[in-house]
Structure 1
Amino acid sequence: MLPALVLAQFGGTSLWFAINAVMPDLQQAFGWPITAVAPLTSALQFGFIIGTLVFALLAIADRFSARWVFFLCAMAGAGCTVGAWAMVEHYEALMLWRFATGFFLAGIYPVGMKIAAQWFPQGLGAALGLLVGALVLGSASAHALRALGQALPWQSLMLGVAALAALSGLIVLWLIPEPHHAHPKVTTLQWRALGTVWTDPKVRASVLGYFGHMWELYTVWVLVPLILATRLEGAALSWVAFWVLGIGAFGCMAGGWLVKRWGSAKVATVQLLISGVCCLLAPALMNASDAVFYLWLTIWGITVAGDSPQFSALTARNAPPQAVGSVLTLTNSIGFGISIVSIMLFVELTKHSHLGSLLPWLAIGPALGLIAMRPLLQEQKAR
């Protein structure tokens, strides 16, 4: 079932950057400015934040079958992408379709983690390593698609992504049964359970660590093309960007393997520490030799994403069993809200500051996350 769930997660989350992959073609076809991609990306991110907030407050993934929630949201997300394809020349309509796509992604990414928590409670760190690795690879695929853009028409890419998302929903429905040992479905809203994000010391530690990680992750992903543009251009830039982002899937999977020896808290903390150091080294390494420059970005790409599944595993393990889906979804909602603030701030600052002097400030997130994770590390050492 795990390979099926990983494949479904990859297909479902491929909706995330479908427009980004074809944006150069749309700009050429309709005369849109280069800046047009930013509002479309933000529209999807805002949709995801609103969706995760609604799903969490209404306990959707805990009141109803997680499989059916995933299936329906994957179908809805695919439908939104077809709608975006049909009305792509109308920029305002495209914004609404992307917002709706983000909303339904709230029933794919965190709900996929809920399904993993149901089926793999003992090996959750390793399972989520594969699951989040699929998300990372799906997110990075936009750069590979952009590099292939001249060979594949943008219409085919959009419809292909929609078909992939629909298939992911069918995979979950057909190949992953309802777990017999699942916690009984709740019938009321889980306000007290959601409060454990702050009131339970263990949940609070992993959630705050995740928030520090989210301050850095998506902003790094947005800035990687700008960093690479200091040395590359064209298809070469896109392929290397795909490598730097996609190698994060290796970080997720390797972290899942190391969990058996180190535990989730140590794996997450070590990767968060290394990615924070990569932020601080930016002023020196931006002007380093090519070999050192690309090695730095590769290590950063591995660790900036590799800690994510372990934060989620820790949160799922310590959250109230009847509200795992809701707690994960609420955590995603707040985390992505933090990422939007970080993206908007740093993208604006790039207009006034050199990247080398700006990137170290991303280390604020990892630093605060490391402080937050100390109770879980101390507990793990005491075992």
Structure 2
Amino acid sequence: MATTSTFQTTRSIGLLLFATMAGMSLWFMGAAVIPDMAREAGLEDGQLALLSSVVPAGFALGAMGFAISGVPDRFDPRHVFAVCATVTAVLNAIFIFVPIGTPAAGIIRFLSGIAMAGTWPLSMKIAVGWSVTRRGTLMGTLVGALVIGQAAPYLMAWIGGTDWRLALWMGSGLALLGAAAALLTQLGPHHVRAARFDSRALYVAWQMPQLRRAILGYLCHMWEFIAFWSWVGVFAAISFSASMPEEDAQALGKLAAFLCIIAAAPACALGGVLADRIGKAHVAATALILSGTAALLTALTFGGPVWITFALLILWGAAVVPDSPQFSAIVADYAPAEIAGSVLTLQASLGFLLTALTVQIAPSIAAIAGWPAVMVLLAMGPVAGVWVSAPLRRAERA
């Protein structure tokens, strides 16, 4: 029986990791193919930014709706995940046939963000049902899968070359596989389903100091995180173009974006293991310090030797994510079990609402002050995160 239980646990977590990777693989699809779409349709910076920023805006709205309605805690999260991943895949395929730069293109990306709000937060709800004592490791591994999924569009764009539509077709197929995997996943022994949901419970949860600190730390992380991932391919290509032909710089920029995002996957897994040994808040603070430092160093080397900027981007990419799963794990630890899914969804909603702002303003600031100024601005998030999460670290030492 123990062997069967172990097998079922490993199988379900493995399926959940794949579903998470595949279900969120369309998030950065717009950002990954932006250079090719811009070249084909002659889009301006504001139009390009809109195609990226409407996704987190839609995600924030969708996640807020899910949190307030209590969907993650009232319904089977596997079914919600599968439906939302399927809708995302269909919308992504429709985007292929819509004229670039039209309002319809922005609306489809916005709706895709809403649909994706039913994937990642639900993954967290399923994950925390599998363990109480090893949530740091579990959440770190889960975010590692998320990282691979969000890096996938850059790899698909690189494979597709200038044919950005091929990348979108590949992405839709992968999202559908994620929906199927979610349906095959089992729920863990610690999964709690709310018989009735009261949205006032979210307000009560916010009154818990440690829970509030964890959410604020997560928001500081999000200030930097998605904006970096959304624009890394663009500012890497611009930096590299100072030392090589523009076409080669764009190709290397795509590869750099994929590698710097994928570098976070093993970092998240390692951070999860360390978190269960030395403390979640300590791992989160270490990641914030490394990430902020890498951002500032990358700003200093922008336009300089390609290999130095390339290496710093990889370091930045590895450090920008591991704090996220640990803040989420702390939230899951302190939130009442029957509303944990809704609290995690609310946290995600607030975070992605913030990123809609940073993703949109980044190119505007770059046009005025240059991309290095954007990097310095993004580094302010980790600085604030280290400060706001200090009480969490003190609690771990007590």
* TM-score, normalised by the number of residues in structure 1: 0.91
The residue correspondences of 1:226-305 to structure 2 (distance < 5 A) are: 226-232=235-241, 233-286=249-302, 289-305=305-321
The counterpart of 2:338, out of the listed 297, 316, 322, is: 322
1:129–1:88 distance in 2 versus 1, CA, 3 Å: farther
**Aligned match of 1:335:** 351
Q: CA deviation at 1:10?
A: 0.7
Fraction of identical pairs, as percent: 31
**Which residue of 192, 199, 212 corresponds with 1:204?**
212
Between 323-332 and 12-21, report the one with greater CA deviation: 12-21
Partner of 1:216: 224
* Corresponding residue number in structure 2 for 1:171: 181
| Cα drift, residue 63 of structure 1 | 0.9
Q: Which runs of 5+ in 2 are unaligned?
A: 1-11, 242-248
| Aligned residues of 1:194 and 1:327 also touching (Cα < 8 A) | no
How far does the alpha carbon of each residue in 1:289-343 deviate from its partner, in whole angstroms, 9 at most, with x for none? Answer: 5554333222211111121111111111111111111111111111111122223
Superposed CA offset, 1:204-259 (max 9, x none): 11111111111111222234231442224131221112112221222211211212
Work out the CA distance in 2 between the residues paired with 1:66 and 1:4.
Answer: 14
Range with greater deviation from structure 2 (162-171 or 225-234): 225-234
**CA pair 86-289 structure 1, distance change in 2 beyond 3 A:** closer
- Distance in 2 between residues matched to 1:268 and 1:45, nearest whole Å: 23
CA distance in 2, matches of 1:370, 1:286: 25
Q: Distance in 2 between matches of 1:34 and 1:355?
A: 13
Q: Do the aligned partners of 1:282 and 1:357 also contact (CA within 8 Å) in 2?
A: no
| Preserved contact between residue 240 and residue 303 of structure 2 (Cα < 8 Å) | no
Counterpart of 1:360 in structure 2 is 376
Q: Which residue of 1 aligns with 2:7?
A: none
Q: Counterpart of 2:209 in structure 1: which amino acid?
A: P
Aligned to 2:320, the other structure's residue is in SS state helix
Task: Find the counterpart in structure 2 of residue 157 from structure 1.
Answer: 167
- What is the distance in 2 between the residues matched to 1:279 and 1:159? 33
Provide the secondary structure at the position in 2 that maps to 1:16. coil
Residues 74 and 194 in structure 2, CA contact (< 8 A), matched pair in contact too: yes
Question: Does structure 2 retain, via aligned residues, the 8 Å contact 1:114–1:325?
Answer: yes
Q: Distance in 1 between matches of 2:237 and 2:51?
A: 23
**Residues 68-77 or 180-189, more deviating:** 180-189
Distance 1:140 1:184 in 2: 32
The counterpart of 1:131, out of the listed 122, 138, 142, is 142
Aligned 8 A contact 2:238 2:303 in 1: no
* Deviates most, 233-242 or 100-109: 233-242
- Letter matched to residue 191 of structure 1: R
Q: Which residue of 1 aligns with 2:5?
A: none
Give the letter aligned to residue 187 of structure 1.
R
Correspondence 1:100-139 to 2 at 5 A = 100-139=111-150
Q: Distance in 2 between matches of 1:358 and 1:14?
A: 26
Deviations along 1:359-378, one digit per CA (max 9) or x if unpaired, are 22323211221121111111
Q: How far apart are 1:348 and its partner, in Å? A: 1.4
Instruction: Name the CA shift for 1:86/1:194 in 2 (closer, same or farther; >3 Å).
Output: farther
Equivalent residue, structure 2, for 1:62:
73
Q: Are 2:22 and 2:178, in contact at CA under 8 Å, matched by a contact in 1?
A: yes
Report what 2:390 is aligned to.
374
Q: Output the amino acid matched with 2:297.
A: L
Report the CA distance shift for 1:30/1:177 in structure 2 as closer, same or farther (over 3 A).
same
Find the residue that maps to 2:191 and give its secondary structure: coil
CA distance in 1, matches of 2:168, 2:298: 36
CA distance in 2, matches of 1:19, 1:288: 28
Question: RMSD across aligned C-alpha pairs, in angstroms?
Answer: 2.3
Which residue identity is paired with 1:219? A
Tell whether the 8 Å contact from 2:281 to 2:389 is kept in structure 1 after alignment: yes
Deviation at 1:108, TM superposition (A): 0.2
CA contact (8 A) 2:131 2:190 kept: no
Q: Give, as a single letter, the amino acid of the residue that structure 2 aligns with 1:169.
A: A
CA-to-partner distance for each residue in 1:164-213, whole Å, 9 max, x for gaps?
A: 21221111112x1234542242313232234423x111111111111111
**Letter of the structure 1 residue corresponding to residue 148 of structure 2:** L
Matched to 2:211, the amino acid is: V
Further displaced range: 27-36 or 254-263: 27-36
**Further displaced range: 310-319 or 273-282:** 273-282
Q: 1: CA distance between counterparts of 2:280 and 2:176?
A: 32
